[in-house]
Amino acid sequence: MNRADVMRLFIVISESYPAFDISPENEERHLKYLRDIPFEVAIQNVEQHIMTNKFYPTIAEIRGRLGEQIERDRLRAETAGYFAEREAARERACPPPPGWKEAILERLRKS
């Protein structure tokens, strides 16, 4: 969503909830947390909220379950990348040269 989308969303919310804060500070806060949500999803969540709740929606309610799904997908991709790194490191790994462990232990005993 962009700033214009947030303002359109504020208009819809304030029509049903006159006490809703439409200040520039609240606009900035909503823009910060709704930037990754498509406007169509947000407006659908707001309209559903209006039909079932007497208090105006919070940012979490505007985001709905899509926000959770986006975060899950991001974490899933990050985890897959981590495991791919670990697999590549395992393929590059090789055992130490013969006698390496014994040489280190010998040096430690001399110290």
Q: Is the pLDDT of residue 68 over 80?
A: no
The predicted model scores a pTM of 0.60
Question: What are 72's two structure tokens?
Answer: 């899950």
Q: Is the pLDDT of residue 66 over 80?
A: no
Angle among Cα 72, 3, 48 to the nearest 5 degrees reads 60
Model pLDDT for residues 16-39, shown as the tens digit of each residue:
999 999 999 999 999 999 998 899
34 and 1 Cβ atoms separated by less than 8 Å = yes
Provide the percentage of residues in the chain whose pLDDT is more than 70. 99
Provide the percentage of residues in the chain whose pLDDT is more than 90. 78
Model pLDDT for residues 4-18, shown as the tens digit of each residue:
999 999 999 999 999
Who contacts 66 (Cβ-Cβ below 8 Å, separation ≥6)?
37, 38, 41
7/16 Cα distance (integer angstroms) = 15
pLDDT band at 64 (very low <50, low <70, confident <90, very high): confident
